[in-house]
A and B are shown apart, each in its own frame.
Chain A
Amino acid sequence: MRNPHPYIPNSSRRVKDEMLRDLGVDDVEALFGDIPDSIRKNSALNLPPARSEMEMKVRVEDILSRNSSTRDVVSFLGGGVWSHYVPAAVDEVVSRSEFLTSYTPYQPEISQGMLQALFEYQSMIAELMGMEFANSSLYDWATALGEAARMSSRVTGRDEFLVPNYISPERIQTLRTFCEPAGIRIIDVKQDRQTGAISNDDLMRKINSKTAGVYIENPSYLGFFETNVKRIGEIAREKGALFIIGADPISLGLFASPGELGADIAIGEGQPLGNHLNYGGPLLGLLACREERLLRQMPGRLIGMTMTKDGTSKAFTMVLQTREQHIRRQKATSNICTNEALCAVAAAAYLSLMGPRGLEKLGKTILANSRYAMEQMRKLDGLKVPLFEAQHFKEFVVGFDSTGLAASKINARLLQRGIQGGICLHDQFPELGQSALYCVTECHTRGDMDRLVVGIKEILEER
């Protein structure tokens, strides 16, 4: 006989017996009597026995203690998930159990809090991106890119999608999975090896009447800005393709928004906005669009502001649900149902705290920090910093070719000094030689960056 359970109020023997009697059943097993014996047999779970809350907590914390986090070492990893400071007030907002333990607001009258928070989120993301509309979240940037490609194909009725050559491996791999079954061909557009700029010639060669969308990132995966964004957008428009810009939202207090640069669809990763690293998930996919004609092809949930029927008060509810899977089934714009609503609430709280001034100041701080790191590293013999001659933000590539050391070797030696170096790029971009993508944010002190420089200097001297 099992003991009563703290999370299962009716698990006490007495209550159970009374409920079973009410049902006219002797044993709870009778409720599973319709399952064929051959299935019921061998259904016992070979799992560890139950532990008390305290035992479990001690055990899990012990296992977790074997991780060294970005608090234990100085980390320069970015590449799609970045260390940014999360204000305590953000964590407080998303730990409100009324938000945390609610579901998709199918009954809007009793779910106004979540709906209003998500409406505000949509408003702030649209504003930040310089777009008219934003949805209430996708899973992450990678899936947002997949959705954007499929969306542009639906809108234009075309099946080729142009992407920049220097793109995150997470995003390109996810994009491939999304595009293959839809029959969308992904075509790389070359970027200049010196400046990172999209090659105008290559773009003109590859864009044609089959092109559904032209996608660029600004700043790029490798941290540099594209200078010809508007021109690329014009070329896309001339050819009847949609122009999609991926952006890091933390840059948008300072740098030009996708809307200003002419994007039809803007996507990005919302993790920097008040969400923790969490070993890469959950993340927050941003997707916004410029025009109403795109709205109906948009994936994901949308919250609208309306009135109560009696006209006495504003109210919020889910809108345009006829795009979604629970109504439209196989004709839906996406299969997404569970999304990242709570991460979106975190982003809304974060953007409210930061405001326009905070976001601008944060952008400047990150810019200043990453410049300091680049300047200091540049002083080391044999390092090319940054590898691309362009304006950078937050991330930059360090070239190690002249040092004669592999980037992975440098990282291994940095790790011995309590420093996690940047992402080694050789496997994905062999043409960049021995190089690594470094990320510097507001979380890095000058001391951290100086330590990195000293570390690399020592490693170079050990050669």
Chain B
Amino acid sequence: MMAFKQAQWNEPLIMEKSREGVVGFSLSGDDDLHSDVPVELLRKDRPKLPEVSEVDVIRHYVRLSQENYGVDLGIYPLGSCTMKYNPKVLDRIVASPKIQDLHPLQDAESVQGILRILHELSGWLAEIVGLDKVSLQPAAGAQGEFAGAMIMRAFHKQNGDLEKREEIIIPDSAHGTNPASAAMAGFKVVEIPSNEDGCVNTDALRASLSDRTAGLMLTNPNTLGIFEAEILEIAKLVHEAGGLLYYDGANLNAMLGKAKPGRMGFDIVHINIHKTFGTPHGGGGPGSGPIAVTKKLEDFLPVPTVEQDGDTYYLDFNRPNSIGKVHGFWGNSSVLLRAYAYILMMGRDGLEEVAETSVLNANYLARKLSQVRGLELPFQHKVRKHEFVLSAAKMAQETGITAAHLAKRLLDFGVHAPTVYFPLIVNEALMIEPTETVSREELDEFADAFSKVSNEAYTQPDVVRDSPRCTSVTKIDEARASHPKTMQLTWKEKTRVDRKA
């Protein structure tokens, strides 16, 4: 096992490096042409932005980057986040001025290249999820969900029963964005419990379905990494009740070329481009969350769609039944360009290999980790898909070391921790998604790290409790961070407080 020590620069805030008169820009141009601008329109005091050189800026951010862990450094197994390696050539593709310097309102004739790419990508995404038509507009998965829920709304409105159909059913194992998006689209959320094998409880579903049901939102495989084998029955029940079935594409990586959500009976699907198709997560974004729908829902898609007429591609704004826009312009085009290039390079076989190996890796690691003392793999299933959820409840009970402690200690081994305390239906949950882009050796090392932490938990729990120690900072005072008296959200606020003192 390698010895890990993250960089520790104790880097000041860039504002603290400010020295009057130092500049980081080079600009030519006139300086005093604004003398006739009415004074009430002008800013009174210069903003207190840092005055630093370009050298200062580069050193500052390179130092900060060294205090940050990314997929390019090692395994980053956050469950349902699909933190996989993304081919470097894609970074080169999106650096082209032929995308970077394109304005969204350019004449269609001058953007035939990118329109063609977006159009072909729409078709490929529809094929991958087994549905009919795609909108590329949503900027992230949650925006796709919002757009999807708005489409449910438009559909029921057209049928004249939106007043009545005000409920969206969501399993208790769902991502938090599902209920948040449904609520944003004006629906009431009806949560249904999972059954003893971690899947949708079809009896509870039956009991919740009614003429008030607008639809069901589901992830498949679900957040436990278990394929909802009853999906066809679930789809039948929802459709019989007059509802629509929504597929959260967070876990699509496991399904590529193996199963299409459209074949499972889903009517609306969102796709997290940044999880599945060649886009790094950028510390939290940008991503892209296209949605795909069945033929009967395609008129409701956000405006515009990208269409083809002979050899010409164009944006179609003439969509009278559209839900409108969920985002400015056409979507996160440069992220979508990555997906196009990624799919082109992977091809059909490569995408299927992604699904197979991500599932193989998850099952391999699940088997190893379920043998670690204090950890259990709840729910009896032969196989998992791309991810699995361990419970550290036994360890917590026997040693006082919780999933959160364990996660912090793992960081000292130079790996990122799993998602903790999600899904909510597992006690002391550790949700792990290794992805297809880690080697067996990395999986073995990751499992070794777990074993070592488990040993420590049972022999010297304080070592675990006092971790991490090899990261840029030691354990953080979270209570102080969010306490109204000590919370500090900007540097400006700090200076204000200092002045008072």
B327 within 8 A of A: yes
Which of A190-198, A355-363, A379-387, A447-455 makes up part of the contact surface? A355-363
Known: A281-B327, A352-B14. A109 touches B474 (CB 8 A): yes
**Complex: how many Å from CA A158 to CA B85?**
47
Contacting pair B359 A32 (CB below 8 A): yes
Please give, as numbers and ranges, the residues of chain A lying within 8 Å of B111 by CB-CB distance.
Answer: 67-68, 279
Please give, as numbers and ranges, the residues of chain B lying within 8 Å of A324 by CB-CB distance.
Answer: 176
Contacting pair B344 A48 (CB below 8 A): yes
**CB-based nearest A residue for B71:** A101
**CB-based nearest A residue for B189:** A330
B494 within 8 A of A: yes
Contacting pair B64 A69 (CB below 8 A): no
Contacting pair A35 B139 (CB below 8 A): no
A262 within 8 A of B: no
Mark interface residues in B453-467 (1 if CB within 8 Å of A CB, else 0).
000000000000000
Known: A64-B114, A81-B103, A330-B179. A282 touches B44 (CB 8 A): no
Chain B 37-80 interface residues, beta-carbon cutoff 8 Å to A:
37-38, 40-44, 46-52, 54, 56-58, 60-73, 76, 78
Least Cβ–Cβ distance between B193 and chain A, in angstroms: 15
Chain B 136-194 interface residues, beta-carbon cutoff 8 Å to A:
139-143, 145-146, 150, 153, 175-177, 179-187, 189
Query: Which of these, B69, B324, B327, B489, contacts A303 with CB under 8 Å?
Result: B489
Count of chain A to chain B residue pairs whose CB atoms are closer than 8 Å in the complex = 701
**Complex: how many Å from CA A349 to CA B85?**
25
Contacting pair A95 B72 (CB below 8 A): no
Please give, as numbers and ranges, the residues of chain B lying within 8 Å of A43 by CB-CB distance.
Answer: 257-260, 263
Contacting pair A113 B68 (CB below 8 A): yes
**Complex: how many Å from CA A4 to CA B472?**
37
B450 within 8 A of A: no
Contacting pair A260 B106 (CB below 8 A): no
Contacting pair B110 A114 (CB below 8 A): no
B360 within 8 A of A: yes
Contacting pair A120 B58 (CB below 8 A): no
Please give, as numbers and ranges, the residues of chain A lying within 8 Å of B57 by CB-CB distance.
Answer: 89, 93, 349, 352-353
Please give, as numbers and ranges, the residues of chain A lying within 8 Å of B66 by CB-CB distance.
Answer: 98, 113
Contacting pair A114 B68 (CB below 8 A): yes
Residue from B25, B127, B145 with most neighbouring chain A CB atoms (10 Å): B25
**CB-based nearest A residue for B24:** A353
Please give, as numbers and ranges, the residues of chain B lying within 8 Å of A117 by CB-CB distance.
Answer: 61, 64, 283
Contacting pair B29 A8 (CB below 8 A): no
Query: Which of these, B177, B182, B330, B407, contacts A279 with CB under 8 Å?
Result: B330
**Complex: how many Å from CA A328 to CA B177?**
10
Please give, as numbers and ranges, the residues of chain B lying within 8 Å of A75 by CB-CB distance.
Answer: 103, 106
**Complex: how many Å from CA A278 to CA B38?**
35
Query: Which of these, A34, A73, A303, A355, contacts B49 with CB under 8 Å?
Result: A355
For the A-B complex with A93-B57, A134-B490, A256-B44 known, give 17 more contacts whose Cβ atoms are closer than 8 Å: A10-B360, A32-B359, A34-B227, A65-B113, A67-B111, A100-B280, A104-B281, A113-B63, A124-B15, A168-B328, A321-B482, A330-B182, A335-B146, A335-B180, A338-B285, A349-B61, A364-B33
Query: Which of these, A44, A89, A339, A365, contacts B257 with CB under 8 Å?
Result: A44
Contacting pair B43 A253 (CB below 8 A): yes
Residue contacts A-B, CB under 8 angstroms, 28 given: A9-B440, A11-B357, A22-B364, A28-B359, A40-B259, A43-B258, A46-B348, A50-B349, A52-B345, A97-B72, A98-B69, A100-B280, A112-B473, A113-B66, A114-B64, A119-B13, A120-B491, A122-B490, A132-B493, A253-B47, A278-B99, A279-B99, A295-B489, A326-B175, A353-B52, A354-B49, A357-B25, A364-B32
B426 within 8 A of A: no
Chain A 419-439 interface residues, beta-carbon cutoff 8 Å to B:
420, 423
Residue from B68, B150, B340 with most neighbouring chain A CB atoms (10 Å): B68
Query: Which of these, B29, B176, B324, B419, contacts A106 with CB under 8 Å?
Result: B419
Please give, as numbers and ranges, the residues of chain A lying within 8 Å of B70 by CB-CB distance.
Answer: 97-102
Least Cβ–Cβ distance between A101 and chain B, in angstroms: 4
Query: Which of these, A92, A137, A279, A306, contacts B481 with CB under 8 Å?
Result: A306
Which of B87-95, B291-299, B387-395 makes up part of the contact surface? B87-95
B341 within 8 A of A: yes
**Complex: how many Å from CA A65 to CA B38?**
46
Contacting pair A335 B177 (CB below 8 A): yes
B429 within 8 A of A: no
Which of A53-61, A159-167, A234-242, A397-405 makes up part of the contact surface? A53-61
A204 within 8 A of B: no
**CB-based nearest A residue for B367:** A23
Contacting pair B24 A282 (CB below 8 A): no
Query: Which of these, B183, B256, B323, B416, contacts A107 with CB under 8 Å?
Result: B416
Contacting pair A116 B476 (CB below 8 A): no
B1 within 8 A of A: no
Please give, as numbers and ranges, the residues of chain B lying within 8 Å of A415 by CB-CB distance.
Answer: 107, 109-110
Contacting pair A177 B324 (CB below 8 A): yes
Please give, as numbers and ranges, the residues of chain A lying within 8 Å of B177 by CB-CB distance.
Answer: 325-326, 335, 337
Chain B 245-277 interface residues, beta-carbon cutoff 8 Å to A:
256-260, 263-264, 272, 274
Known: A5-B350, A31-B359, A361-B27. A177 touches B323 (CB 8 A): yes
B381 within 8 A of A: yes
Query: Which of these, B43, B475, B487, contacts A254 with CB under 8 Å?
Result: B43
Known: A31-B383, A109-B471, A112-B68. A53 touches B345 (CB 8 A): yes
B105 within 8 A of A: yes
Mark interface residues in A303-331 (1 if CB within 8 Å of B CB, else 0).
11111111111010101110011111111
Query: Which of these, A2, A53, A127, A442, contacts B490 with CB under 8 Å?
Result: A127
Contacting pair B180 A132 (CB below 8 A): no
**CB-based nearest B residue for A150:** B184
Please give, as numbers and ranges, the residues of chain A lying within 8 Å of B272 by CB-CB distance.
Answer: 338
**Complex: how many Å from CA A43 to CA B254?**
13
Known: A69-B102, A277-B100, A309-B476. A338 touches B281 (CB 8 A): yes
**CB-based nearest A residue for B29:** A365
A220 within 8 A of B: no
A227 within 8 A of B: yes
Contacting pair B474 A19 (CB below 8 A): no
Least Cβ–Cβ distance between B469 and chain A, in angstroms: 9
Contacting pair B179 A89 (CB below 8 A): no
**Complex: how many Å from CA A28 to CA B340?**
27
B215 within 8 A of A: no
Least Cβ–Cβ distance between B457 and chain A, in angstroms: 18
Contacting pair A67 B113 (CB below 8 A): yes
B287 within 8 A of A: yes
B468 within 8 A of A: yes
Contacting pair A227 B333 (CB below 8 A): no
Least Cβ–Cβ distance between A52 and chain B, in angstroms: 8
Contacting pair A69 B97 (CB below 8 A): yes
Contacting pair A38 B360 (CB below 8 A): no
Contacting pair A59 B344 (CB below 8 A): yes
Contacting pair A8 B437 (CB below 8 A): yes
**CB-based nearest B residue for A295:** B489
Residue from A42, A117, A142 with most neighbouring chain B CB atoms (10 Å): A117
Residue from B229, B285, B359 with most neighbouring chain A CB atoms (10 Å): B285
Known: A19-B364, A103-B81, A109-B474. A30 touches B383 (CB 8 A): yes
